[in-house]
Structure 1
């Protein structure tokens, strides 16, 4: 069941990334959509906790959850900004390289064994990342290369550290509902501050998009915690990172993006690397 939960998380995260890409192409505020998404998710998770009976909170849970929420919000913002600078079908696979960070932490911090095949997968993923971004003019010169790459690196760092903290929460046996409440609450406060500083005009579509993302996020993260609590982290993380496939296919189908032949090879080898890391 935990593998199924990991795949559901993959689909939910991939769908949300496509919504972020769509919102970027339609001039909607990344911060506003994220704020609505976090606020809706916080209200729903907190309401469920009140109805079902919330477990006792402690300072570690609140801090850990809030940091996870801030990292996730920042990672999504950086990825959305990367979508502005380059194609979704390249951006998402590169951001998914963040799976290497929690996989290594699973071995070094949580003493999970990494097989030779998984090490091969990690190397393939890194090589694929280099291949995918080989030429700054890979997509007809439409990529603003250095800004695009810097946003991707920031997103990789945020999502990578987030994965470590997710595993830490599971390792400490912290109730996943408490973590979600603190995650969405902390993220909402962080994004509220960002929204006040940015002073962007609100649009009605941002409310609808943010609410939809919030619903997918609750379902996805609930499955994510279940998979981490009952399964093997070094397998869960790569499966979740396959969310890039949803964006790759969506980018080519919905946004009519085109890839060079060597970039197709890079995307496919990245997927192969991710699969090897979960064997």
Structure 2
């Protein structure tokens, strides 16, 4: 059951990424996109916590500490990732930042002593290869001339690891995920509410906001299922599966925008399917 939950978390979180891509293709504002995403995500986690009766955990200081750390990982991780794309190619930036999953796998395996068989290790390797291959783009220069890119990517990896690995830590502390993610998204929302100078047109801001709201609902669903998968299964397996969410964006690009994938990107899909099969064995 946990495997289905983990796969579902990747699909839903991938759909969040898909709507972010749609916003980009339609010229939506990045700032209002993230504003809408964290607004609807905050609402989703708040309603979830209220319905399951865990809202009273907001009185626990540990929940606030976890929410602050995970929220910083989410908001600042996304902000630094977007900034890194200005200084380096997506073909390198995206797979390298996704390597935060290796830190999560190491945390679960070495610190929490989660078992890892040879076949599961092979499956994880295939999934990580899929994450690397899917970001490959034709004719994109891979030369890095800006030193800031290295710092930005390193910090983004650490911050995303705080988000993805933090949920494993809080699960081990028997803390519910919904109120923690509610705090995390609420604080992220406050961060993007800070006024900044922008040249975005009103239509661009509206597009980004509305598509961000839709993306936020899928983001809520994906992260909540990811937290359930960690709680009911193994984090060292659920995390790599969750990382394949970028393949959903690629699939949408093929279907709706008629994008042609490279051989490496098709290999990414094959690695994902094979990796899930091997893990299930």
> 1:170 offset after TM fit, Å?
0.7
Provide the residue aligned with 1:98 in structure 2. 100
Partner Cα distance (1:247, 1:153) in 2: 24
Change in Cα spacing, 1:242 to 1:152, as seen in structure 2 (3 Å) is: same
Q: Deviations over 1:185-216 (max 9, x none)?
A: 121122223xx235454521122112111211
Q: Deviations over 1:220-253 (max 9, x none)?
A: 2222222222222122112212212212222333
Asked if the contact 1:100–1:122 (Cα under 8 Å) also holds between the matched residues in 2, the reply is no
Provide the residue aligned with 1:20 in structure 2. 20
Aligned residues: 272
Partner Cα distance (1:266, 1:47) in 2: 36
Change in Cα spacing, 1:269 to 1:48, as seen in structure 2 (3 Å) is: closer
> 1:105 offset after TM fit, Å?
1.0
Provide the residue aligned with 1:186 in structure 2. 187
Partner Cα distance (1:179, 1:268) in 2: 35
Q: Deviations over 1:152-183 (max 9, x none)?
A: 66544432332211101111111222112211
**Aligned ranges 1:54-65 → 2 under 5 Å:** 54-56=55-57, 57-65=59-67
> 1:93 offset after TM fit, Å?
5.8
> 1:15 offset after TM fit, Å?
0.7
Partner Cα distance (1:235, 1:187) in 2: 27
TM-score (norm 1): 0.78
**Aligned ranges 1:122-271 → 2 under 5 Å:** 122-123=124-125, 139-141=138-140, 143=141, 146=144, 155-193=156-194, 196-199=195-198, 201=200, 203-265=205-267, 268-269=270-271
Change in Cα spacing, 1:76 to 1:174, as seen in structure 2 (3 Å) is: same
Gaps of 5+ in 2: none
Partner Cα distance (1:47, 1:122) in 2: 34
Change in Cα spacing, 1:200 to 1:127, as seen in structure 2 (3 Å) is: same
Moved more, 20-29 or 75-84: 75-84
Q: Secondary structure at the match of 1:258?
A: coil
TM-score (norm 2): 0.78
Asked if the contact 1:122–1:273 (Cα under 8 Å) also holds between the matched residues in 2, the reply is yes
Partner Cα distance (2:198, 2:190) in 1: 15
Q: Secondary structure at the match of 2:36?
A: helix
Partner Cα distance (1:49, 1:106) in 2: 26
Q: Secondary structure at the match of 2:13?
A: helix
| Cα RMSD after superposing both structures | 3.6
Partner Cα distance (1:238, 1:172) in 2: 22
Partner Cα distance (1:99, 1:177) in 2: 21
Gaps of 5+ in 1: none
Moved more, 173-182 or 38-47: 38-47
Change in Cα spacing, 1:177 to 1:130, as seen in structure 2 (3 Å) is: closer
